[in-house]
Amino acid sequence: MTKVTLKKILQDNWQNFLKKKIKRIPKVIRADVIETVEKAMDCGRLEKGYTEYMCLECMES
């Protein structure tokens, strides 16, 4: 069975959505929606950067 993820759903359907239904998104937030979806599709790619969190207490020991 193939694992279905939100990222995969977006990758498979985003271009079709842009062509046929992007105008359903209010113009005032359209650019933000596009930016957010494109970031979600790039998630997990090291060349796009990443954030690393560390406990400051653990760093001292």
User: Given this model, what pLDDT does residue 15 score?
Assistant: 97
Q: Is residue 56 part of a domain?
A: no
Q: Give the C-alpha separation, 39 to 35, whole Å.
A: 6
Q: Is residue 12 part of a domain?
A: yes
Q: Is residue 55 part of a domain?
A: no
- With residue 41 as reference, give the H or E element that holds it: helix 27-42
User: Given this model, what pLDDT does residue 2 score?
Assistant: 78
Q: How many domains does the chain have?
A: 1
Q: Is residue 61 part of a domain?
A: no
User: Given this model, what pLDDT does residue 54 score?
Assistant: 82
Task: Print pLDDT tens along the chain (61 aa).
Answer: 778 889 899 999 999 999 999 999 999 999 999 999 999 998 888 887 777 788 888 776 5
**Pair 33, 25: CB distance under 8 Å:** yes
Domain around 37: 6-48
Q: Is residue 54 part of a domain?
A: no
Neighbours of 38 (CB within 10 A): 11
